[in-house]
Structure 1
Protein backbone atom coordinates (compact mmCIF):
# COMPACT_ATOMS: atom_id res chain seq x y z
CA UNK A 1 0.00 0.00 0.00
CA UNK A 2 2.91 2.32 0.65
CA UNK A 3 3.74 2.28 -3.06
CA UNK A 4 0.47 4.03 -3.83
CA UNK A 5 1.69 7.07 -1.93
CA UNK A 6 4.71 7.50 -4.18
CA UNK A 7 4.67 10.39 -6.65
CA UNK A 8 5.40 9.30 -10.22
CA UNK A 9 5.99 11.79 -13.04
CA UNK A 10 4.98 10.21 -16.33
CA UNK A 11 5.42 13.29 -18.54
CA UNK A 12 9.03 14.41 -18.17
CA UNK A 13 11.50 14.87 -20.99
CA UNK A 14 15.20 14.83 -21.79
CA UNK A 15 17.60 15.10 -24.70
CA UNK A 16 20.20 12.38 -24.27
CA UNK A 17 23.80 13.55 -24.87
CA UNK A 18 24.02 11.63 -28.16
CA UNK A 19 20.83 13.33 -29.40
CA UNK A 20 21.84 16.81 -28.20
CA UNK A 21 25.21 16.42 -29.92
CA UNK A 22 23.44 15.64 -33.20
CA UNK A 23 21.27 18.75 -32.87
CA UNK A 24 24.35 20.94 -32.22
CA UNK A 25 25.96 19.69 -35.43
CA UNK A 26 22.97 20.40 -37.65
CA UNK A 27 22.55 23.44 -39.89
CA UNK A 28 18.97 22.62 -40.88
CA UNK A 29 16.03 22.45 -38.49
CA UNK A 30 15.77 21.12 -35.88
CA UNK A 31 19.01 22.30 -34.31
CA UNK A 32 20.63 23.72 -31.20
CA UNK A 33 22.27 27.09 -31.80
CA UNK A 34 24.54 29.22 -29.63
CA UNK A 35 23.91 32.94 -29.43
CA UNK A 36 24.64 35.85 -27.14
CA UNK A 37 21.98 36.33 -24.48
CA UNK A 38 20.69 39.60 -23.05
CA UNK A 39 23.28 39.29 -20.26
CA UNK A 40 26.11 39.20 -22.81
CA UNK A 41 26.81 35.51 -22.13
CA UNK A 42 26.58 32.72 -24.67
CA UNK A 43 23.41 30.64 -24.44
CA UNK A 44 22.11 27.63 -26.29
CA UNK A 45 18.67 27.73 -27.86
CA UNK A 46 16.63 24.90 -29.31
CA UNK A 47 14.98 25.72 -32.64
CA UNK A 48 12.69 22.95 -33.81
CA UNK A 49 10.11 24.58 -36.10
CA UNK A 50 10.19 27.11 -38.90
CA UNK A 51 9.41 30.66 -37.71
CA UNK A 52 9.87 29.55 -34.10
CA UNK A 53 8.81 32.37 -31.73
CA UNK A 54 11.51 34.09 -29.66
CA UNK A 55 14.30 32.54 -31.70
CA UNK A 56 13.74 29.16 -30.12
CA UNK A 57 13.82 28.08 -26.49
CA UNK A 58 16.73 28.56 -24.11
CA UNK A 59 18.02 25.20 -22.96
CA UNK A 60 20.53 24.23 -20.31
CA UNK A 61 21.87 21.32 -18.30
CA UNK A 62 18.38 20.28 -17.13
CA UNK A 63 17.58 19.17 -20.67
CA UNK A 64 20.49 16.73 -20.86
CA UNK A 65 22.05 15.81 -17.52
CA UNK A 66 20.64 13.09 -15.27
CA UNK A 67 21.84 14.77 -12.09
CA UNK A 68 19.72 17.82 -12.93
CA UNK A 69 16.66 15.60 -13.41
CA UNK A 70 17.27 13.94 -10.05
CA UNK A 71 17.77 17.30 -8.32
CA UNK A 72 14.47 18.52 -9.77
CA UNK A 73 12.75 15.36 -8.54
CA UNK A 74 14.19 15.72 -5.03
CA UNK A 75 13.24 19.38 -4.78
CA UNK A 76 9.63 18.64 -5.72
CA UNK A 77 9.08 15.35 -3.89
CA UNK A 78 8.91 13.20 -7.03
CA UNK A 79 9.92 9.61 -6.33
CA UNK A 80 9.95 8.13 -9.85
CA UNK A 81 10.14 9.66 -13.33
CA UNK A 82 9.33 7.89 -16.58
CA UNK A 83 11.46 9.94 -18.93
CA UNK A 84 11.06 10.35 -22.68
CA UNK A 85 13.01 12.01 -25.46
CA UNK A 86 11.34 15.32 -26.21
CA UNK A 87 10.09 16.22 -29.67
CA UNK A 88 10.98 16.15 -32.54
CA UNK A 89 12.37 12.65 -31.85
CA UNK A 90 13.67 11.16 -35.12
CA UNK A 91 11.11 12.70 -37.47
CA UNK A 92 13.69 14.72 -39.40
CA UNK A 93 16.03 11.83 -40.27
CA UNK A 94 16.29 9.51 -43.24
CA UNK A 95 15.21 5.90 -42.55
CA UNK A 96 18.69 4.36 -42.22
CA UNK A 97 19.93 7.05 -39.83
CA UNK A 98 16.67 7.03 -37.88
CA UNK A 99 16.85 3.25 -37.47
CA UNK A 100 20.45 3.26 -36.26
CA UNK A 101 19.95 6.22 -33.93
CA UNK A 102 16.75 4.79 -32.43
CA UNK A 103 18.56 1.63 -31.37
CA UNK A 104 21.49 3.62 -29.98
CA UNK A 105 19.27 6.04 -28.05
CA UNK A 106 17.21 3.20 -26.62
CA UNK A 107 20.40 1.62 -25.32
CA UNK A 108 21.48 5.01 -23.95
CA UNK A 109 18.13 5.48 -22.21
CA UNK A 110 18.24 2.00 -20.70
CA UNK A 111 21.68 2.78 -19.23
CA UNK A 112 20.48 6.22 -18.06
CA UNK A 113 17.71 4.54 -16.07
CA UNK A 114 19.47 1.35 -14.98
CA UNK A 115 22.48 3.13 -13.49
CA UNK A 116 20.37 5.67 -11.62
CA UNK A 117 19.40 5.40 -7.94
CA UNK A 118 16.71 3.19 -6.44
CA UNK A 119 13.66 4.36 -4.55
CA UNK A 120 14.54 4.04 -0.87
CA UNK A 121 13.07 0.95 0.76
CA UNK A 122 11.81 -0.58 -2.51
CA UNK A 123 13.06 -2.61 -5.46
CA UNK A 124 12.02 0.17 -7.85
CA UNK A 125 14.34 2.55 -9.67
CA UNK A 126 13.87 6.30 -9.64
CA UNK A 127 14.09 6.40 -13.43
CA UNK A 128 12.32 4.44 -16.15
CA UNK A 129 11.84 5.37 -19.78
CA UNK A 130 9.81 5.49 -22.98
CA UNK A 131 11.88 4.25 -25.91
CA UNK A 132 11.90 5.50 -29.50
CA UNK A 133 10.74 3.98 -32.78
CA UNK A 134 12.31 5.13 -36.08
CA UNK A 135 8.81 5.93 -37.28
CA UNK A 136 9.64 8.00 -40.38
CA UNK A 137 8.52 7.87 -44.03
CA UNK A 138 9.89 4.95 -46.09
CA UNK A 139 11.08 3.03 -43.03
CA UNK A 140 10.57 -0.71 -43.22
CA UNK A 141 8.03 -2.27 -40.89
CA UNK A 142 10.72 -4.76 -39.83
CA UNK A 143 12.88 -1.85 -38.62
CA UNK A 144 10.00 -0.66 -36.45
CA UNK A 145 9.40 -4.17 -35.13
CA UNK A 146 13.10 -4.53 -34.29
CA UNK A 147 12.88 -1.40 -32.14
CA UNK A 148 9.73 -2.70 -30.43
CA UNK A 149 11.55 -5.94 -29.59
CA UNK A 150 14.55 -4.00 -28.28
CA UNK A 151 12.37 -1.83 -26.02
CA UNK A 152 10.47 -4.86 -24.73
CA UNK A 153 13.77 -6.55 -23.87
CA UNK A 154 15.10 -3.48 -22.00
CA UNK A 155 14.21 -3.89 -18.30
CA UNK A 156 13.83 -0.17 -17.57
CA UNK A 157 11.97 0.87 -20.74
CA UNK A 158 8.24 0.49 -20.17
CA UNK A 159 6.75 2.05 -23.28
CA UNK A 160 7.25 4.07 -26.45
CA UNK A 161 6.91 7.79 -27.10
CA UNK A 162 5.52 8.58 -30.52
CA UNK A 163 4.55 11.63 -32.57
CA UNK A 164 1.46 11.94 -34.71
CA UNK A 165 2.79 11.60 -38.28
CA UNK A 166 3.54 7.89 -38.37
CA UNK A 167 5.43 6.82 -41.48
CA UNK A 168 4.07 9.73 -43.48
CA UNK A 169 0.32 9.22 -43.63
CA UNK A 170 -0.56 9.49 -39.95
CA UNK A 171 -1.08 6.91 -37.25
CA UNK A 172 -4.29 5.63 -38.87
CA UNK A 173 -2.25 4.24 -41.78
CA UNK A 174 -3.14 0.53 -41.94
CA UNK A 175 0.50 -0.22 -42.80
CA UNK A 176 1.16 0.25 -39.07
CA UNK A 177 -1.12 -2.61 -38.01
CA UNK A 178 1.80 -5.04 -37.48
CA UNK A 179 3.42 -2.42 -35.22
CA UNK A 180 0.26 -1.90 -33.15
CA UNK A 181 -0.04 -5.68 -32.89
CA UNK A 182 3.54 -6.09 -31.67
CA UNK A 183 3.24 -3.23 -29.16
CA UNK A 184 -0.02 -4.64 -27.86
CA UNK A 185 1.35 -8.17 -27.51
CA UNK A 186 4.43 -6.85 -25.70
CA UNK A 187 2.24 -5.01 -23.19
CA UNK A 188 4.01 -1.72 -23.90
CA UNK A 189 2.27 1.64 -23.52
CA UNK A 190 2.40 4.22 -26.32
CA UNK A 191 2.84 7.80 -25.12
CA UNK A 192 1.31 9.93 -27.89
CA UNK A 193 2.83 13.41 -27.83
CA UNK A 194 2.33 16.34 -30.25
CA UNK A 195 5.01 18.27 -32.09
CA UNK A 196 3.68 20.00 -35.20
CA UNK A 197 0.54 21.70 -33.88
CA UNK A 198 -1.59 23.27 -36.56
CA UNK A 199 -0.56 25.64 -39.40
CA UNK A 200 0.95 28.88 -38.09
CA UNK A 201 -1.39 30.96 -40.25
CA UNK A 202 -4.11 30.22 -37.70
CA UNK A 203 -2.27 32.33 -35.11
CA UNK A 204 -2.21 35.59 -37.08
CA UNK A 205 0.60 38.11 -37.30
CA UNK A 206 0.69 39.39 -33.72
CA UNK A 207 3.62 38.08 -31.70
CA UNK A 208 2.20 36.05 -28.83
CA UNK A 209 5.33 34.05 -28.15
CA UNK A 210 4.76 30.31 -27.74
CA UNK A 211 1.35 30.69 -26.09
CA UNK A 212 -1.01 29.83 -28.95
CA UNK A 213 0.98 26.93 -30.44
CA UNK A 214 1.53 25.31 -27.03
CA UNK A 215 -1.78 26.05 -25.31
CA UNK A 216 -3.98 25.31 -28.33
CA UNK A 217 -1.95 23.86 -31.21
CA UNK A 218 -0.42 20.94 -29.30
CA UNK A 219 -3.70 19.74 -27.72
CA UNK A 220 -5.54 20.01 -31.05
CA UNK A 221 -2.86 17.94 -32.78
CA UNK A 222 -3.36 15.23 -30.17
CA UNK A 223 -7.14 15.48 -30.52
CA UNK A 224 -7.03 15.02 -34.28
CA UNK A 225 -4.50 12.17 -34.25
CA UNK A 226 -6.42 10.21 -31.60
CA UNK A 227 -9.74 10.76 -33.36
CA UNK A 228 -8.25 9.41 -36.58
CA UNK A 229 -7.06 6.33 -34.69
CA UNK A 230 -10.57 5.78 -33.31
CA UNK A 231 -12.15 6.21 -36.75
CA UNK A 232 -9.65 3.80 -38.30
CA UNK A 233 -10.83 0.98 -36.03
CA UNK A 234 -7.41 0.48 -34.41
CA UNK A 235 -8.99 -0.04 -30.98
CA UNK A 236 -11.39 -2.62 -32.41
CA UNK A 237 -8.58 -4.55 -34.11
CA UNK A 238 -6.23 -4.27 -31.12
CA UNK A 239 -8.46 -3.99 -28.04
CA UNK A 240 -5.57 -4.41 -25.59
CA UNK A 241 -3.53 -1.56 -27.09
CA UNK A 242 -2.59 0.92 -24.36
CA UNK A 243 -2.47 4.52 -25.56
CA UNK A 244 -1.43 7.30 -23.18
CA UNK A 245 -2.21 10.88 -24.28
CA UNK A 246 -0.32 14.04 -23.42
CA UNK A 247 -2.04 17.15 -22.08
CA UNK A 248 -5.10 15.27 -20.79
CA UNK A 249 -6.19 14.24 -24.27
CA UNK A 250 -6.38 17.75 -25.68
CA UNK A 251 -9.94 18.69 -26.63
CA UNK A 252 -11.10 15.10 -27.15
CA UNK A 253 -12.97 14.75 -23.81
CA UNK A 254 -14.85 18.00 -24.47
CA UNK A 255 -15.72 17.06 -28.07
CA UNK A 256 -16.36 13.33 -27.67
CA UNK A 257 -20.17 13.51 -27.71
CA UNK A 258 -20.08 15.80 -30.72
CA UNK A 259 -17.77 13.31 -32.39
CA UNK A 260 -20.17 10.46 -31.62
CA UNK A 261 -23.09 12.39 -33.11
CA UNK A 262 -21.17 13.25 -36.27
CA UNK A 263 -20.24 9.59 -36.72
CA UNK A 264 -23.85 8.47 -36.28
CA UNK A 265 -25.01 10.90 -38.97
CA UNK A 266 -22.32 10.20 -41.54
CA UNK A 267 -22.99 7.30 -43.95
CA UNK A 268 -19.26 6.84 -44.62
CA UNK A 269 -18.43 5.87 -41.03
CA UNK A 270 -21.76 5.22 -39.28
CA UNK A 271 -21.36 1.44 -39.33
CA UNK A 272 -17.57 1.25 -39.26
CA UNK A 273 -16.94 0.94 -35.50
CA UNK A 274 -18.05 -1.71 -33.03
CA UNK A 275 -18.93 0.86 -30.37
CA UNK A 276 -20.06 4.42 -29.87
CA UNK A 277 -17.05 6.77 -30.09
CA UNK A 278 -17.36 7.65 -26.40
CA UNK A 279 -16.60 4.05 -25.48
CA UNK A 280 -13.04 4.33 -26.80
CA UNK A 281 -12.15 7.18 -24.47
CA UNK A 282 -12.44 4.71 -21.62
CA UNK A 283 -9.64 2.67 -23.21
CA UNK A 284 -7.23 5.61 -23.10
CA UNK A 285 -4.85 6.80 -20.40
CA UNK A 286 -4.34 10.54 -20.01
CA UNK A 287 -1.80 12.61 -18.17
CA UNK A 288 -3.13 14.96 -15.50
CA UNK A 289 -1.40 18.03 -16.90
CA UNK A 290 -4.56 20.14 -16.67
CA UNK A 291 -3.47 22.81 -14.16
CA UNK A 292 -6.96 23.01 -12.67
CA UNK A 293 -9.24 20.74 -10.58
CA UNK A 294 -12.35 21.58 -12.59
CA UNK A 295 -10.74 20.43 -15.82
CA UNK A 296 -9.43 17.26 -14.19
CA UNK A 297 -12.84 16.50 -12.72
CA UNK A 298 -14.51 16.91 -16.09
CA UNK A 299 -11.99 14.64 -17.83
CA UNK A 300 -12.46 12.07 -15.07
CA UNK A 301 -16.23 12.13 -15.62
CA UNK A 302 -15.84 11.57 -19.37
CA UNK A 303 -13.53 8.61 -18.82
CA UNK A 304 -15.84 7.13 -16.18
CA UNK A 305 -18.93 7.11 -18.39
CA UNK A 306 -17.29 5.15 -21.22
CA UNK A 307 -18.73 1.79 -20.14
CA UNK A 308 -22.22 3.13 -20.85
CA UNK A 309 -21.34 3.02 -24.54
CA UNK A 310 -20.12 -0.57 -24.66
CA UNK A 311 -22.34 -2.08 -27.37
CA UNK A 312 -24.55 -4.75 -25.85
CA UNK A 313 -23.69 -3.80 -22.29
CA UNK A 314 -26.53 -3.73 -19.77
CA UNK A 315 -24.55 -1.39 -17.51
CA UNK A 316 -26.07 2.03 -18.16
CA UNK A 317 -24.80 3.58 -14.93
CA UNK A 318 -21.60 5.59 -14.94
CA UNK A 319 -18.84 4.26 -12.72
CA UNK A 320 -18.55 7.68 -11.13
CA UNK A 321 -15.72 10.14 -10.96
CA UNK A 322 -13.53 7.73 -8.99
CA UNK A 323 -13.54 5.23 -11.84
CA UNK A 324 -12.33 7.93 -14.23
CA UNK A 325 -9.44 8.77 -11.95
CA UNK A 326 -7.94 5.32 -12.56
CA UNK A 327 -6.80 6.36 -16.05
CA UNK A 328 -5.22 9.69 -15.12
CA UNK A 329 -1.53 10.03 -14.27
CA UNK A 330 0.49 12.94 -12.85
CA UNK A 331 3.03 14.71 -15.07
CA UNK A 332 5.13 17.87 -15.09
CA UNK A 333 6.44 18.43 -18.66
CA UNK A 334 9.88 19.08 -17.16
CA UNK A 335 12.23 20.67 -18.25
CA UNK A 336 9.93 22.89 -20.26
CA UNK A 337 8.17 25.89 -18.64
CA UNK A 338 10.81 26.67 -15.99
CA UNK A 339 10.11 29.35 -13.36
CA UNK A 340 11.70 32.77 -13.75
CA UNK A 341 13.60 32.40 -10.48
CA UNK A 342 15.84 29.45 -9.61
CA UNK A 343 14.55 29.50 -6.04
CA UNK A 344 10.93 28.95 -7.06
CA UNK A 345 9.19 25.60 -7.27
CA UNK A 346 7.90 24.83 -10.74
CA UNK A 347 4.25 25.74 -11.36
CA UNK A 348 3.91 22.67 -13.55
CA UNK A 349 4.47 20.61 -10.38
CA UNK A 350 2.72 22.73 -7.76
CA UNK A 351 -0.38 23.58 -9.80
CA UNK A 352 -0.89 20.06 -11.15
CA UNK A 353 -0.54 18.49 -7.69
CA UNK A 354 -2.89 21.11 -6.25
CA UNK A 355 -5.37 20.35 -9.03
CA UNK A 356 -5.32 16.65 -8.13
CA UNK A 357 -5.80 17.43 -4.43
CA UNK A 358 -8.81 19.64 -5.10
CA UNK A 359 -10.92 17.56 -7.49
CA UNK A 360 -14.36 17.30 -5.94
CA UNK A 361 -15.57 13.71 -5.62
CA UNK A 362 -12.17 12.03 -5.59
CA UNK A 363 -11.25 10.06 -2.49
CA UNK A 364 -7.78 10.23 -0.98
CA UNK A 365 -7.11 6.84 -2.57
CA UNK A 366 -8.13 8.25 -5.97
CA UNK A 367 -5.74 11.18 -5.54
CA UNK A 368 -2.89 8.90 -4.47
CA UNK A 369 -3.60 6.79 -7.55
CA UNK A 370 -3.35 9.76 -9.92
CA UNK A 371 -0.19 10.98 -8.21
CA UNK A 372 1.58 7.65 -8.52
CA UNK A 373 -0.33 4.45 -7.89
CA UNK A 374 -1.90 4.33 -11.35
CA UNK A 375 1.51 4.67 -13.00
CA UNK A 376 3.03 1.97 -10.80
CA UNK A 377 0.25 -0.36 -11.92
CA UNK A 378 0.18 0.62 -15.61
CA UNK A 379 3.94 0.35 -16.06
CA UNK A 380 4.32 -2.67 -13.76
CA UNK A 381 6.93 -0.95 -11.62
Structure 2
Protein backbone atom coordinates (compact mmCIF):
# COMPACT_ATOMS: atom_id res chain seq x y z
CA UNK A 1 0.00 0.00 0.00
CA UNK A 2 1.43 3.32 -1.03
CA UNK A 3 2.54 5.51 1.86
CA UNK A 4 2.60 2.67 4.42
CA UNK A 5 5.69 0.81 5.50
CA UNK A 6 5.89 -2.94 5.63
CA UNK A 7 4.47 -4.15 8.94
CA UNK A 8 1.67 -1.59 9.22
CA UNK A 9 -1.31 -3.21 11.02
CA UNK A 10 -3.49 -2.71 7.92
CA UNK A 11 -1.35 -5.44 6.31
CA UNK A 12 -2.17 -8.03 8.97
CA UNK A 13 -4.49 -10.02 6.71
CA UNK A 14 -1.77 -10.64 4.13
CA UNK A 15 0.78 -11.22 6.90
CA UNK A 16 -1.50 -13.90 8.40
CA UNK A 17 -1.61 -15.67 5.03
CA UNK A 18 2.17 -15.42 4.62
CA UNK A 19 2.61 -16.70 8.17
CA UNK A 20 0.34 -19.67 7.45
CA UNK A 21 2.56 -20.54 4.49
CA UNK A 22 5.86 -19.98 6.38
CA UNK A 23 6.77 -17.58 3.59
CA UNK A 24 10.16 -16.11 2.85
CA UNK A 25 9.61 -12.48 1.86
CA UNK A 26 12.33 -10.66 -0.02
CA UNK A 27 11.84 -6.90 0.16
CA UNK A 28 13.22 -4.11 -2.00
CA UNK A 29 12.32 -0.43 -2.37
CA UNK A 30 11.68 0.92 -5.85
CA UNK A 31 10.13 4.28 -4.98
CA UNK A 32 10.45 6.37 -1.88
CA UNK A 33 7.57 8.40 -0.47
CA UNK A 34 7.61 12.17 -0.59
CA UNK A 35 10.08 13.97 -2.73
CA UNK A 36 10.48 17.25 -0.87
CA UNK A 37 13.76 16.04 0.64
CA UNK A 38 15.34 15.11 -2.66
CA UNK A 39 18.89 16.27 -3.11
CA UNK A 40 19.30 17.44 -6.71
CA UNK A 41 21.58 15.16 -8.68
CA UNK A 42 21.46 12.36 -6.08
CA UNK A 43 19.34 9.42 -7.22
CA UNK A 44 17.21 7.68 -4.56
CA UNK A 45 19.18 4.43 -4.77
CA UNK A 46 22.24 6.15 -3.28
CA UNK A 47 20.80 6.75 0.20
CA UNK A 48 16.99 6.95 0.13
CA UNK A 49 16.58 3.23 -0.62
CA UNK A 50 18.77 2.46 2.41
CA UNK A 51 16.61 4.67 4.62
CA UNK A 52 13.44 3.12 3.19
CA UNK A 53 14.78 -0.36 4.03
CA UNK A 54 15.71 0.83 7.53
CA UNK A 55 12.22 2.22 8.09
CA UNK A 56 10.59 -0.99 6.87
CA UNK A 57 12.69 -3.03 9.31
CA UNK A 58 11.88 -0.70 12.22
CA UNK A 59 8.18 -0.77 11.27
CA UNK A 60 8.17 -4.59 11.34
CA UNK A 61 9.73 -4.45 14.80
CA UNK A 62 7.67 -1.59 16.27
CA UNK A 63 4.32 -2.85 15.01
CA UNK A 64 4.94 -6.30 16.47
CA UNK A 65 4.74 -7.98 13.07
CA UNK A 66 7.70 -10.23 13.82
CA UNK A 67 6.06 -11.36 17.06
CA UNK A 68 2.52 -11.85 15.70
CA UNK A 69 3.69 -13.67 12.58
CA UNK A 70 6.73 -15.70 13.65
CA UNK A 71 6.66 -18.04 10.63
CA UNK A 72 7.47 -15.29 8.12
CA UNK A 73 11.11 -14.78 7.24
CA UNK A 74 11.92 -11.32 5.92
CA UNK A 75 15.00 -10.57 3.81
CA UNK A 76 16.08 -6.93 4.02
CA UNK A 77 18.08 -5.69 1.03
CA UNK A 78 21.23 -3.61 1.09
CA UNK A 79 22.50 -5.16 4.31
CA UNK A 80 19.40 -3.90 6.14
CA UNK A 81 20.03 -0.32 5.11
CA UNK A 82 21.17 1.63 8.16
CA UNK A 83 19.43 -0.73 10.61
CA UNK A 84 22.55 -2.69 11.71
CA UNK A 85 24.47 0.56 12.08
CA UNK A 86 21.77 2.19 14.25
CA UNK A 87 20.84 -0.94 16.24
CA UNK A 88 22.21 0.52 19.47
CA UNK A 89 20.22 3.73 18.92
CA UNK A 90 17.07 1.64 18.59
CA UNK A 91 17.96 -0.13 21.85
CA UNK A 92 18.58 3.17 23.67
CA UNK A 93 15.61 5.13 22.30
CA UNK A 94 13.15 2.27 21.70
CA UNK A 95 11.39 2.92 25.01
CA UNK A 96 10.54 6.43 23.83
CA UNK A 97 8.90 5.31 20.58
CA UNK A 98 5.20 4.76 20.03
CA UNK A 99 4.69 1.88 20.28
CA UNK A 100 7.63 1.19 22.56
CA UNK A 101 10.38 -1.23 21.62
CA UNK A 102 12.00 -3.07 24.50
CA UNK A 103 15.78 -2.69 24.38
CA UNK A 104 16.27 -6.34 25.30
CA UNK A 105 14.21 -7.43 22.27
CA UNK A 106 15.98 -5.31 19.65
CA UNK A 107 18.85 -7.77 19.08
CA UNK A 108 16.41 -10.70 19.01
CA UNK A 109 14.36 -8.93 16.37
CA UNK A 110 17.44 -8.09 14.30
CA UNK A 111 18.29 -11.80 14.26
CA UNK A 112 14.87 -12.58 12.81
CA UNK A 113 15.79 -10.87 9.54
CA UNK A 114 18.08 -12.04 6.79
CA UNK A 115 20.16 -9.35 5.06
CA UNK A 116 21.35 -9.36 1.47
CA UNK A 117 24.69 -8.10 0.22
CA UNK A 118 23.32 -5.84 -2.51
CA UNK A 119 25.49 -2.79 -2.36
CA UNK A 120 26.58 -2.48 1.29
CA UNK A 121 29.45 -4.96 1.46
CA UNK A 122 32.67 -3.02 1.95
CA UNK A 123 35.52 -2.85 4.46
CA UNK A 124 33.54 -0.17 6.31
CA UNK A 125 29.99 -1.64 6.15
CA UNK A 126 30.65 -5.37 6.48
CA UNK A 127 32.05 -5.28 10.04
CA UNK A 128 28.92 -3.46 11.30
CA UNK A 129 26.60 -6.04 9.75
CA UNK A 130 28.73 -8.95 10.99
CA UNK A 131 28.88 -7.57 14.53
CA UNK A 132 25.09 -7.24 14.69
CA UNK A 133 23.92 -10.48 13.03
CA UNK A 134 26.91 -12.65 12.13
CA UNK A 135 27.50 -14.23 8.74
CA UNK A 136 24.74 -16.84 9.11
CA UNK A 137 22.01 -14.22 8.48
CA UNK A 138 23.59 -12.72 5.34
CA UNK A 139 22.62 -13.78 1.82
CA UNK A 140 24.21 -12.96 -1.51
CA UNK A 141 22.23 -10.29 -3.32
CA UNK A 142 23.14 -8.81 -6.68
CA UNK A 143 20.57 -5.98 -6.71
CA UNK A 144 19.94 -6.79 -10.36
CA UNK A 145 17.93 -5.55 -12.27
CA UNK A 146 17.87 -2.15 -10.50
CA UNK A 147 21.67 -2.28 -10.57
CA UNK A 148 22.97 -2.70 -14.13
CA UNK A 149 24.65 -6.06 -14.84
CA UNK A 150 28.02 -4.47 -15.61
CA UNK A 151 28.11 -2.93 -12.11
CA UNK A 152 27.11 -6.23 -10.49
CA UNK A 153 29.83 -8.20 -12.28
CA UNK A 154 32.44 -5.44 -12.29
CA UNK A 155 31.96 -3.83 -8.87
CA UNK A 156 29.59 -5.36 -6.32
CA UNK A 157 30.41 -9.07 -6.79
CA UNK A 158 34.19 -8.46 -6.71
CA UNK A 159 33.75 -6.23 -3.63
CA UNK A 160 32.12 -9.15 -1.82
CA UNK A 161 34.71 -11.63 -3.10
CA UNK A 162 37.57 -9.43 -1.90
CA UNK A 163 36.07 -8.02 1.30
CA UNK A 164 38.84 -8.31 3.93
CA UNK A 165 36.26 -8.57 6.74
CA UNK A 166 35.15 -11.99 5.45
CA UNK A 167 36.99 -15.29 5.57
CA UNK A 168 36.42 -18.12 3.08
CA UNK A 169 33.92 -19.94 5.32
CA UNK A 170 31.85 -16.76 5.74
CA UNK A 171 31.94 -16.14 1.98
CA UNK A 172 30.75 -19.68 1.29
CA UNK A 173 27.92 -19.23 3.81
CA UNK A 174 26.88 -15.92 2.27
CA UNK A 175 27.20 -17.05 -1.34
CA UNK A 176 25.47 -20.41 -0.97
CA UNK A 177 25.02 -22.20 2.35
CA UNK A 178 22.72 -19.67 4.03
CA UNK A 179 20.36 -19.60 1.03
CA UNK A 180 20.26 -23.40 0.93
CA UNK A 181 19.41 -23.51 4.63
CA UNK A 182 16.68 -20.87 4.21
CA UNK A 183 15.30 -22.38 0.99
CA UNK A 184 16.07 -26.12 1.18
CA UNK A 185 14.73 -26.74 -2.33
CA UNK A 186 17.84 -24.94 -3.62
CA UNK A 187 20.01 -27.71 -2.18
CA UNK A 188 18.02 -30.48 -3.89
CA UNK A 189 18.59 -32.13 -7.22
CA UNK A 190 19.12 -29.17 -9.55
CA UNK A 191 17.45 -31.08 -12.41
CA UNK A 192 14.17 -31.06 -10.49
CA UNK A 193 14.31 -27.56 -9.03
TM-score (norm 1): 0.44
1:283 aligned partner? 112
2:127 is matched with which residue? 297
- In 2, Cα distance between equivalents of 1:186 and 1:219: 28
Secondary structure, counterpart of 1:298 in structure 2:
helix
Offset, 1:231: 0.3
Q: Which residue of 2 aligns with 1:357?
A: 161
**1:197 is the counterpart of 2:32:** yes
Residues 1:335 and 2:145 are matched in the alignment:
yes
Q: 1:330 to 1:349 in 2, by over 3 A?
A: farther
| Conserved? CA contact 1:246–1:287, under 8 Å | yes
CA distance in 1, matches of 2:165, 2:121: 17
Shift of 1:199: 2.6
Number of the residue aligned with 1:378: 182
Q: Residue 325 of structure 1 contacts residue 366 of structure 1 at CA under 8 Å; is this kept in 2?
A: yes
Alignment of 1:65-80 (within 5 A): none
Alignment of 1:137-286 (within 5 A): 165=2, 169-204=4-39, 206=40, 208=41, 211-264=42-95, 266=96, 268-270=98-100, 273=102, 275-286=104-115
Distance 2:154 2:138 in 1: 17
Number of residue pairs matched? 184
User: Which secondary structure does the structure 1 equivalent of 2:142 belong to?
Assistant: coil
Q: Tell me the CA shift for residue 171 of structure 1.
A: 2.8
Structure 1: gaps spanning 5 or more residues: 1-135, 137-164, 304-323, 340-345
Q: 1:273 to 1:236 in 2, by over 3 A?
A: farther
Unaligned runs of 5+ in 2: 187-193
C-alpha distance after superposition, 1:276-316 (max 9, x if no partner): 3232111101111124233123212111xxxxxxxxxxxxx
Task: Describe the superposition over 1:239-269 as per-residue Cα deviations: whole angstroms up to 9, x where unpaired.
Answer: 23200011111111111211121112x2743
Give per-residue Cα distances to partners, 1:128-180, cap 9 Å, x unaligned. Answer: xxxxxxxx5xxxxxxxxxxxxxxxxxxxxxxxxxxxx4xx6443332432322
Q: TM-score, normalised by structure 2?
A: 0.81
